[in-house]
Structures are given as structure tokens and as C-alpha cells.
């Protein structure tokens, strides 16, 4: 096996021969990512209605289903209707604090089983959540950012926000408010820089997922088919008062 030192010294030797070969520069990251991210948030607090309209358009173009409600109290009703439509009996959700609401008191009386993610990661909890995720027909999450120009939901994994909630069930539902809106990939770049300024701070989990519509494939005769491994349906519920 090559050692790190050997490997890198070989690369270094090659690199020393490159001056003059490349007329190059990298993209320039923002000087102060936190300030740049704050500026984007200020900008978006004005521009969110246009961004939301664009998001709806792009999200629907990638076969997402968009819902809009006034208050968070209306969300359980939307989810309940979807569960009935899909004949779903089991749901999994992010931890209520992370999600912004606890669906259990609303949906359990309706005969639905709701498993919420625990905030502490014990081995027992790990297994039981995984089993629930594998059984559930619907997974409910929040979103950290919502990108208008591509119709993309951006979710950061972490305590109380498991990765499988948006992955294993056939239907994924995301709940979000206006302060999550971003317009461009370029803004996403700034926000990602900001998230990694203090690697132990803002971000706890190991994974950031960009989700642009339901899982899809065209591997058999180029026929577009949804839900090959991930969800067949993705719903986004925009809550005005959030």
C-alpha cells in the first residue's frame, strides 16, 4: 500500500512541472460567509413571494406536488387527506422540535400510527426507527432551504432529523415557511460556505441532501419511471405564517 507521504510526494513532483500549463483560477468564495449569508436572508425577506412562485413552477415541473396553507394548524389536515388517498397507515416524522409540530395528537386519533424520531441516538432507538421507516408509507420532514430555480428541497441530517425519513417511505412530505427560500444555486454556494465556517457549530449531521422531485430512472428503454429506490411522490407544504 502506498503511504500518504509517498503518494503525495509523487503528486508534488508532477505538480512542480505544471507552472505555465494552466491559465487558471478557482471560484472565489465570499470573504465573510456569515455576512454574505445574512445579506441573502435580508434580500429574500423581500423577494420570497417571487421565489416561491418560481419554486412552485419548477417543483411541479419535476413532478412535485405543491400545497399552500395559512397556519401550521392546517398541516395535519393536509397530511391526513394524503394518508387517506394513499391508504397509508404508518407515518414517520422528524423529531417534533425539528419539524415544528407534533403530528401524533392530530393523526393518532384518526387511526394512523406515527413514529417520531428520537432526539437522542441510542442503539435501541436506532433499530426501532429504522424498522418503522422501512414499514411507513409516509415520511414527514422540514427543509433547511428551498431552492427556487431548480425546485429543490435541501435537508441537513442531524439529531432528530434522520436521513431515512425522506428516503424510505413511498411518499415524502416537506413542511416549510418563507424564511427557507433561496433563489439561485449561487446563493446555495454562499449558504454552504456559511454552514461550514464552524464545522461543529451550525451543522451537526454528516449529510446534506438536495432533493429535486421524486426518485426516478430511465434505465429501461429510456422510459421515465418514478420511485425506483426513493419516494414515488414528493409533496411540499408551504405554511404562510411559519
Partner 1 sequence: MRHLPSSLKIPFPERAGAALKDASLQEALTNATTKFIGLRKDAFASLPQGDLLRDRARAIKEATLERLDYYLEMLADNVERLGGRVHWAATGEEARDIILQLCGDRGVKTVVKSKSMATEEIELNEALEHAGVTPVETDLGEYIIQLAREKPSHIIVPAIHKTKGQVAVLFSHALKGRFAADPEVLTAVARKELRQKFLQADMGITGANFAVAETGTIVLVTNEGNGRMVTSLPRIHVALMGIEKVIPSMTDLVVFLAILARSATGQKLSVYTTLVRGPRQHGELEGPEEFHLVLMGSGRSNQISGELREALYCLRCGACLNVCPVYRQIGGHAYGYTYPGPIGILLTAMLNGDHAVKDLAHASSLCGACHEVCPVRIDIPRMLIELRQRLDRERIAPLAERGVFRVFGRVLASPTLFRLSATLGRMAQRPFVREGRLGSLPLVFGKWTKTRDLPPVASRTFSERWKELR
Positions 115 through 134 that interact with partner 1 (CB under 8 A):
117-121, 125-126, 129-130, 134
Distance CA(184)–CA(161), nearest Å, equals 25
For partner 1, the binding residues in 161-180 under the rule CB under 8 A are 162-164, 167
Does position 2 interact with partner 1 (CB under 8 A)? The reply is yes
User: Phi and psi for 140 in degrees, rounded to 5?
Assistant: -115, 125
Using the rule CB under 8 A, which residue among 102, 115, 217, 237 binds partner 1? 217
In this structure, the number of other CB atoms found within 10 A of the CB of residue 50 comes to 13
Residue with cell string 505538480:
15
Smallest distance, Å, CB 104 to partner 1? 18
Does position 1 interact with partner 1 (CB under 8 A)? The reply is yes
> Regarding beta strands 65-69 and 113-116, do their DSSP bridges make them parallel or antiparallel, or are they unpaired?
unpaired
Distance CA(118)–CA(101), nearest Å, equals 14
Q: Residues in contact with partner 1, total (CB under 8 A)?
A: 84
**Closest by alpha carbon to 172, among 208, 142, 151?**
142
Does position 109 interact with partner 1 (CB under 8 A)? The reply is no
Distance CA(77)–CA(106), nearest Å, equals 8
**Residue nearer to partner 1 on the CB measure, 72 or 192:** 192
**Residue nearer to partner 1 on the CB measure, 70 or 120:** 120
CA distances (Å), origin 134, targets 140, 164, 169, 188, 209: 14, 9, 7, 31, 19
**Residue nearer to partner 1 on the CB measure, 113 or 119:** 119
**Residue nearer to partner 1 on the CB measure, 69 or 189:** 189
Does position 53 interact with partner 1 (CB under 8 A)? The reply is no
Site string for partner 1, 175-204 (x = CB under 8 A): ----------xx-xxx-xx--x--x----x
Using the rule CB under 8 A, which residue among 230, 233, 235, 238 binds partner 1? 230
Does position 39 interact with partner 1 (CB under 8 A)? The reply is no
Does position 22 interact with partner 1 (CB under 8 A)? The reply is yes
User: Phi and psi for 152 in degrees, rounded to 5?
Assistant: -110, 140
Using the rule CB under 8 A, which residue among 25, 31, 46, 70 binds partner 1? 25
User: Per the structure block, which three cell numbers stand in for 52?
Assistant: 416561491
**Residue nearer to partner 1 on the CB measure, 14 or 46:** 14
- Structural contact between residues 144 and 202, judged by C-beta atoms closer than 8 angstroms: no
Distance CA(84)–CA(103), nearest Å, equals 15
What does the angle CA 94 – CA 164 – CA 166 come to, to the nearest 5 degrees? 70
Smallest distance, Å, CB 206 to partner 1? 5
For partner 1, the binding residues in 55-94 under the rule CB under 8 A are 58, 62
Amino acid at each position: 500500500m502506498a503511504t500518504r507521504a509517498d503518494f503525495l510526494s509523487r503528486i508534488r513532483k508532477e505538480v512542480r512541472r505544471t507552472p505555465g500549463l494552466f491559465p487558471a483560477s478557482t471560484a472565489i468564495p465570499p470573504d465573510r460567509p456569515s455576512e454574505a449569508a445574512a445579506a441573502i436572508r435580508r434580500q429574500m425577506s423581500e423577494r420570497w413571494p417571487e421565489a416561491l412562485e418560481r419554486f412552485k413552477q419548477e417543483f411541479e415541473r419535476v413532478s412535485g406536488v405543491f400545497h399552500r396553507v395559512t397556519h401550521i394548524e392546517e398541516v395535519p389536515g393536509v397530511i391526513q387527506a394524503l394518508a387517506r388517498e394513499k391508504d397509508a397507515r404508518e407515518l414517520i416524522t422528524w423529531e417534533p422540535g425539528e419539524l415544528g409540530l407534533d403530528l401524533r395528537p392530530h393523526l393518532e386519533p384518526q387511526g394512523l400510527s406515527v413514529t417520531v424520531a428520537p432526539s437522542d441516538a441510542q442503539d435501541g432507538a436506532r433499530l426501532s426507527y429504522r424498522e418503522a421507516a422501512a414499514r411507513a408509507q409516509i415520511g414527514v420532514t422540514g427543509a433547511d432551504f428551498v431552492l427556487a430555480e431548480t425546485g429543490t428541497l435541501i435537508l441537513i441530517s442531524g439529531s432528530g432529523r434522520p436521513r431515512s425519513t425522506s428516503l424510505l417511505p413511498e411518499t415524502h412530505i416537506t413542511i416549510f415557511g418563507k424564511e427557507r427560500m433561496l433563489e439561485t444555486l449561487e446563493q446555495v454556494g454562499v449558504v454552504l460556505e456559511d454552514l461550514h465556517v464552524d464545522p461543529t457549530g451550525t451543522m451537526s449531521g454528516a449529510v446534506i441532501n438536495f432533493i429535486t422531485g421524486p426518485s426516478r430512472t430511465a434505465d429501461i428503454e429510456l422510459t421515465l419511471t418514478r420511485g425506483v429506490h426513493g419516494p414515488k411522490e414528493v409533496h411540499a407544504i408551504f405554511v404562510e405564517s411559519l
